[in-house]
Amino acid sequence: MSQSSAGSIESVLQEGRKFAPRAEFTARANISSEAEYEKMWNRAKDDPAGFWGELAENLTWFKKYDSVLSGNMPDTKWFNGGKINASVQCLDRHLTSWRKNKAAIIWEGEPGDTRVLRYQDLYREVCQFANVLKSLGVKTGDRVTLYMPMIPELAIAMLACARIGATHSIIFGGFSADAIADRNNDAKAKVVVTADGGWRRGKVVSLKAAVDESMERSPSVEKVVVVRRTGSDVTMTPDRDFWWHDLMQDADTDCDPVELDSEHPLFILYTSGSTGKPKGVLHTTAGYMLGTMMTSKWVFDLKDDDTYWCTADIGWVTGHSYIVYGPLANGATTMMYEGAPNWPDEGRFWNLVEKYKVNIFYTAPTAIRAFIKWGDQWPGKYDLSSLRLLGSVGEPINPEAWMWYHRVIGQERCPIVDTWWQTETGAIMISPLPGITAAKPGSCTKPLPGVVPDIVRKDGTSVGANEGGLLVMKQPWPSMLRTLYGDHERFVSTYFGDIEGCYFAGDGARKDSDGYYWVMGRVDDVLNVAGHRLSTMEIESALVSHPNVAEAAVVGFPHDLKGEGICCFVSLKSGDGNDELIKELTAHVRKQIGAVATPDVIRFATALPKTRSGKIMRRLLRDVAAGRVSTQDTTTLEDLTVLEKLRQDED
């Protein structure tokens, strides 16, 4: 993707195929006619308060709100005056129906151990852990860090926080001790919940050890709760560290839910921005619950007899919204798997689909590309006939990967929902509705009801059909982020500072003549590596913190499996680089940020291309990293020989 100075973006992708859902699917779908969608979409656009107000009756309120929507973006409030609790939506209200004994969570660990928690069981454990948190001094409004493997205790801890109005901040297990400390400090977390470890490709990921290291720099943290998962050796610091099972043993199995304001902070989730430290995206209670509940129902077409599996890690927003809150608010059965897709072999996911008769399967393009590479023989070994709907999220899906997913996994029977959304949006925004939308491979298709996007130039004017531009939202939606934790100004300038009156998502996109959206990727210095947003700036800071490094520039390059790979250009303070130093720098970045940010390529350069004002010209380095001859404008480049030298270094 190339961006001109006017902010319009050239789009090169051409895709003409179209796939309509089969009549049998449409007949049973939660939204089953185009006319119904049009009516909902127009109603939501013209009368958002009326539209969302009616849907909010599907939530359980302690006290009804005074107004559905108040204020303008960025400072919009939803359901002001209402009193609500997220855990009640996910648990209590199902206990008075037949769902009491329905499976809420079906879990399988990587070693093959399994657990099924019925709604009643989940309720009991959530109440117990809520009481545990209270006994550790956690109060309504406090923050709790969760750094855990994909085990039921993670969902239990989330809902327990929600029950007492503590705000959870989940840190993905691939982050390092330093990243944990940064997030603990930013959020001023009082308690950390972790495990002795988690299983990944037959090995233990030592979560507790990372927490221990982070504690040296986490002064706000008073207590640590540790789930025994792997049985590996851990050091327990007296009076600070407690075993989950010890605390749970004595905990009461009832805990009244706290009656919270609609806008009470439900969770913080840190995500990458182009500059500065990670952004603590803050979501609140009522709007987020309504957004995730309704979109789960519309997009995943959830029915009571479905087994639904989202393969994301709960450490990312996908897991928050579409493993835990959205599905459970619908009383659905949600599956959770702890480990790697290729353990003990490359057939594991399909083995799980067959074993649990999964009906709805939601994964990421990076995973699909790995499946393709591993070969059709793996899914071919298993019975996938239970599947009725497939989903994709995290980055644009390449049309060829879409076709493979459709043919090999969906067996040309299942609609595919390519869902565009972000940590910030909380819930799916642009996506096919599986019963009605004719999908085009590579397009996330059309906005859901309540979502009013546009594609604009930098001056805010709308672009024409098939013209690339910036993807914005013109109307607020209930599950949108409310602020960046502790930095409201940054929230306003990051999302509302570019295009007057609009939320700017940071993505480039185009709309075709059928009104279908084609997202072309991010326009800022944020990489999308295996569906995870990583900031080039943070990786650069990590590199520069190494004593030998003078300067670093990090860019993405096309990567077969990960979508984007991480390429680092490093200039040293003195001497030449060598393989030893590459290893050392790689380890250094992993320690500073975590395994998620492991560089794919490190290249040493005597100088980096810069503008006359000293800004590193990353767009030129992107060409070098991709091995392309640059056709870009180099008139602002300070020293033209630098690029030539970088290219020669390749040989």
Cross-strand partners of 281: 269, 484
Q: Output 131 or 479, the one with its CB closest to ligand WT7.
A: 479
Q: Output 165 or 432, the one with its CB closest to ligand WT7.
A: 432
Q: Output 146 or 481, the one with its CB closest to ligand WT7.
A: 481
By rule CB under 6 A, what string of x and - marks binding of each residue 369-408 to ligand WT7? Answer: ------------------------xxxx------------
d(CA 605, CA 572): 8
Q: Output 107 or 421, the one with its CB closest to ligand WT7.
A: 421
In the complex, the smallest distance separating the C-beta of residue 646 from ligand WT7, rounded to whole angstroms, is 27
In the complex, the smallest distance separating the C-beta of residue 480 from ligand WT7, rounded to whole angstroms, is 13
* Identified binder of ligand WT7 from the candidate list 130, 427, 505, 542, rule CB under 6 A: 505
d(CA 358, CA 307): 5
Long-range contacts of 586-592 (CB under 8 A, 24+ apart): 588/542, 588/543, 588/545, 588/546, 589/539, 589/542, 589/543, 590/176, 591/176, 591/177, 591/178, 592/176, 592/178, 592/179, 592/542, 592/545
By rule CB under 6 A, what string of x and - marks binding of each residue 274-313 to ligand WT7? Answer: ----------------------------------------
d(CA 594, CA 528): 16
Spell out the residues 6+ positions from residue 24 whose beta carbon is closer than 8 angstroms to its own.
none
Spell out the residues 6+ positions from residue 71 whose beta carbon is closer than 8 angstroms to its own.
77
User: Which amino acid, 219?
Assistant: P
Segment contacting ligand WT7 (CB under 6 A): 524-532, 566-574, 575-583, 593-601?
524-532
- Please classify residue 30 by burial: count the beta carbons closer than 10 Å to its beta carbon, then call 0-12 exposed, 13-18 middle and 19+ buried: middle
- Helical spans, DSSP H, in 362-498: 365-374, 377-380, 399-404, 488-496
Q: Helix, strand, coil shares of the chain as percentages rounded to 5?
A: 35, 25, 40
* Identified binder of ligand WT7 from the candidate list 264, 277, 533, 562, rule CB under 6 A: 533
Q: Output 218 or 292, the one with its CB closest to ligand WT7.
A: 292
Helix (H, G, I), strand (E, B) or coil at 202: coil
Helix (H, G, I), strand (E, B) or coil at 44: helix
In the complex, the smallest distance separating the C-beta of residue 291 from ligand WT7, rounded to whole angstroms, is 13
Q: Output 262 or 363, the one with its CB closest to ligand WT7.
A: 363
Lookup: tokens for 341: 């897709």
Alpha carbons within 13 A on the beta-carbon side of 287? 30
Contact 134, 164 (CB under 8 A): yes
CA angle, 106 then 112 then 116, to 5°: 20
In the complex, the smallest distance separating the C-beta of residue 16 from ligand WT7, rounded to whole angstroms, is 19
Which pairing describes strands 143-147 and 167-170: parallel, antiparallel, or unpaired?
parallel
User: Which amino acid, 108?
Assistant: E
In the complex, the smallest distance separating the C-beta of residue 450 from ligand WT7, rounded to whole angstroms, is 17
Segment contacting ligand WT7 (CB under 6 A): 178-186, 369-377, 521-529, 563-571?
521-529
d(CA 28, CA 20): 15
In the complex, the smallest distance separating the C-beta of residue 545 from ligand WT7, rounded to whole angstroms, is 24
How many residues at the interface with ligand WT7, by CB under 6 A? 25
- For position 506 contacting ligand WT7 by CB under 6 A, the verdict is yes
When computed from its CA atoms, the radius of gyration of the chain, rounded to whole angstroms, is 24
Window 309-368: residues binding ligand WT7 (CB under 6 A): 316-318
In the complex, the smallest distance separating the C-beta of residue 431 from ligand WT7, rounded to whole angstroms, is 8
Q: Output 285 or 321, the one with its CB closest to ligand WT7.
A: 321
* Identified binder of ligand WT7 from the candidate list 214, 359, 419, 535, rule CB under 6 A: 419
Q: Output 453 or 577, the one with its CB closest to ligand WT7.
A: 453
In the complex, the smallest distance separating the C-beta of residue 559 from ligand WT7, rounded to whole angstroms, is 15
Segment contacting ligand WT7 (CB under 6 A): 101-109, 156-164, 418-426, 459-467?
418-426
* Identified binder of ligand WT7 from the candidate list 230, 271, 359, 536, rule CB under 6 A: 271
In the complex, the smallest distance separating the C-beta of residue 555 from ligand WT7, rounded to whole angstroms, is 16
Backbone angles phi and psi of 280, in degrees to 5: -85, 90
- For position 519 contacting ligand WT7 by CB under 6 A, the verdict is yes
d(CA 509, CA 468): 5
d(CA 392, CA 417): 6
Q: Output 246 or 560, the one with its CB closest to ligand WT7.
A: 560
DSSP result, 213-224 = HHHTT-TT--EE
- For position 262 contacting ligand WT7 by CB under 6 A, the verdict is no
In the complex, the smallest distance separating the C-beta of residue 633 from ligand WT7, rounded to whole angstroms, is 25
Q: Output 131 or 292, the one with its CB closest to ligand WT7.
A: 292
* Identified binder of ligand WT7 from the candidate list 184, 295, 423, 483, rule CB under 6 A: 423
In the complex, the smallest distance separating the C-beta of residue 322 from ligand WT7, rounded to whole angstroms, is 9
- Give the footprint of ligand WT7 on this chain (CB under 6 A): 271, 316-318, 393-396, 418-423, 444, 505-507, 519, 521-522, 528, 531-533
